[in-house]
Amino acid sequence: MEYTNPILAGFHPDPSICRVGEDYYLVNSTFAYFPGIPVFHSRDLVNWKLIGYVIDRPDQLDYDSLGVSRGIFAPAIRYYDGTFYVTCTFVDGGGNFVCTARNPAGPWSKPVWLPQVNGIDPSLFFDTDGKAYLVHNSVPPEGKPLYQGQRTIRLFGFDTGRLRVIGDERILVNGGTDIKENPIWIEGPHIFKVGDHYYLICAQGGTAENHSEVVFKSRDVWGPYVSFDGNPILTQRDLNPDRKNPITCTGHADFVETQNGTWWSVFLGCQPYPPYEKDYYNTGRETFLAPVTWKDGWPTIIPHGQTVSYHYPYPPTPDYMKDELRYSGDIEYIDNLDSKTLDPHWEFLRAPRGRWYSLDEKPGWLAIRLRPETVSETVNPSFLGRRQQQAHSSASTTMDFIPSGENEKAGLIVFQNETHFYYLCKSIENGEPVVELYKSVGNEDSQTGMELVSAQVLESNSRDGDLDLKIESMGSTYSFLYRSSRGEWSTLKDSIDASFLSTKVAGGFVGCFYAFYATSLGKPSENTAYFDWFKYKGINEANDR
């Protein structure tokens, strides 16, 4: 019996995992999306269920003015003596913090800030004697880098009662595996203990194609730590970039031991679409799972020169958790938007400060109020999104919306960041209802942050009635379609360049979202758009690999 990688498809980067008895819990980075830090539960390491968020209340963190790729970086989840701990960095918004909960589904505490921790990626370690420590990425010694990208890994003691670091910090690693070779961006550290040895695993090489995972070992938690001669223990950078169906950028791993003593690793990776050597991917960094092998006291995830596999035998865990599979393999679901609360998979851009959406106003529909805010700004717009989880996918909906001015627009957006998106919407042009396609421009001279690509005057039967919208992704291209009264789909624009929304072109650390989006482009509005359902379908080509 085999499982399919990635185990969390789409934008699920920087995974961290812990086991409590027969239960596994996993968290990911969410940057400026809200709710933040999803908590997943599994009994078999393969099938996961979203059970809550660490940051699910607007008063926990202030997301205002944060760019899409700022905010929540690299959470780490740990458990000790009845309490769950998540440590994290809130970039551009306050620094490092820790949250706690007795139940991983929540509620989680407000963040407790850790001002003494200068850097990113804090992670707790609980030793067998009950003592706690916090390891993190930090600046070079004396803050003076010998080369661009030099960082250190440092360790503090940690007081779990008062939730603060204690004592003096110590540098465990300077630069990386061999400072004479100028290793860059040592980060994402985790410490664990096996027998009499302490192991320190870290990401190294940056988050792009040169990403990797390395390991160090010591007899004492405070060091000195010795680098493994066989480092890196995970990378794909030494493989042919033009290989078929590649997985790239692998690193930022965490380890977990099963009940029967086997070891497994979760780590991030990316799935480019052709042409593979360009390393274009729109789904962001995803969560993969692979077994860890031990030899001569050292762990390895993927031996040098070998590819990460899309299929591995199931972990030998006691339970195979059967749940709705929205995260791996082929994915298809429909949200009828007829519940009293939003499905927890919907995400906002930054934390909402008011209630601009409703599931009660028109039963069976999601009502979204048009507001002046736009996705081109670092604000909370009228935006509700879900991840694009495969390169080959589609998102569609039925919308009831009657615009009253050319500035009023509502529809579906495929969104990567403030300056890279495509927007399929209904509006008015020259007094006529139209369906429009916009492309972001990222131009200071643009008042709307986007330019018109295509428009079509709507037929009479769709002017005041429902309009269906669909965005299809086919790897290197997107297509944008519409139809009225459940008729035949019409193509507004076919084969639009998808690389514009890739991480390689757009930058940052996130993946694309399909989202409902309604805006009045800087002007007041009393109008509302209504959405009847949302359907997603994605094909993971790994099933055929």
As beta bridge partners, residue 528 has 369
Reported as a single tens digit per residue, the pLDDT across 4-18 is 999 999 999 999 999
pLDDT surpassing 50 at residue 413: yes
Taking domain 2-313, whether its CATH number is 2.115.10.20 is answered by yes
**Using 50, 70 and 90 to split pLDDT, how confident is the model at 545?**
very low
**Using 50, 70 and 90 to split pLDDT, how confident is the model at 434?**
very high
- Residues above pLDDT 70, as percent of the chain: 96
Q: Summarize the confidence of residues 423-439 as an average pLDDT.
A: 96
Reported as a single tens digit per residue, the pLDDT across 122-142 is 999 999 999 999 999 999 998
**What does pTM read for this prediction?**
0.96
Which of these, 311, 368, 306, lies nearest to 337 by C-alpha position? 368
pLDDT value for 318: 63
The rounded distance, in Å, linking the Cα atoms of 518 and 57 is: 23
Q: In 388-519, which ranges are E strands?
A: 392-400, 409-417, 420-429, 432-440, 450-457, 467-474, 477-484, 490-497, 513-519
Q: Give the lowest-confidence range in 31-35, 39-43, 106-110, 447-451.
A: 447-451
pLDDT surpassing 90 at residue 543: no
pLDDT value for 244: 87
Q: How many Cα atoms occupy the beta-carbon half-sphere of 453 within 13 Å?
A: 19
The rounded distance, in Å, linking the Cα atoms of 520 and 525 is: 6
Question: Amino acid identity of 306?
Answer: Q
**Residue 511 and residue 10 in contact, taking contact as beta carbons nearer than 8 Å:** yes
Q: Tell me which residue has tokens 């709705």.
A: 324
Reported as a single tens digit per residue, the pLDDT across 159-172 is 999 999 999 999 99
Question: Dihedrals φ, ψ of 361, to 5°?
Answer: -60, -40
Instruction: Mark residue 228 as left, alpha or beta (left: phi above 0; alpha: psi -120 to 50; beta: remaining).
Output: beta
pLDDT surpassing 90 at residue 195: yes
Query: CA separation (Å) from 20 to 189, 252, 311, 534?
Result: 21, 22, 26, 36
User: Mean pLDDT score of the chain, rounded to an integer?
Assistant: 95
Gyration radius of the chain over CA positions:
24
DSSP state of 297: T
**Residue 221 and residue 301 in contact, taking contact as beta carbons nearer than 8 Å:** no
pLDDT value for 460: 67
The residues annotated as belonging to the active site are 14, 187
| Distance between first and last Cα of the chain | 16
Give CB contacts under 8 A, 24+ apart, made by 217-226: 217/297, 217/298, 221/125, 221/127, 221/133, 221/155, 221/191, 221/193, 222/155, 222/170, 222/172, 223/155, 223/170, 223/172, 225/172, 225/173, 225/198, 225/200
Q: Give the lowest-confidence range in 233-237, 324-328, 495-499, 526-530.
A: 324-328
Q: Map out the domains of the chain as residue ranges.
A: 2-313, 331-544
Taking domain 331-544, whether its CATH number is 2.60.120.200 is answered by yes
Does this chain's domain 2-313 share its CATH topology with 331-544? no
Give the H or E element holding residue 503: helix 503-506
pLDDT value for 322: 64
The rounded distance, in Å, linking the Cα atoms of 152 and 158 is: 19
Reported as a single tens digit per residue, the pLDDT across 57-80 is 999 999 999 999 999 999 999 999
pLDDT surpassing 90 at residue 1: no
As beta bridge partners, residue 154 has 136, 171
Q: What is the DSSP string of 56-85?
A: -STTT---TT--TTSEEEEEEEEEETTEEE
- Residues above pLDDT 90, as percent of the chain: 90
pLDDT surpassing 80 at residue 461: no
Reported as a single tens digit per residue, the pLDDT across 291-343 is 999 999 999 999 999 999 999 999 887 666 665 567 999 999 999 999 999 99
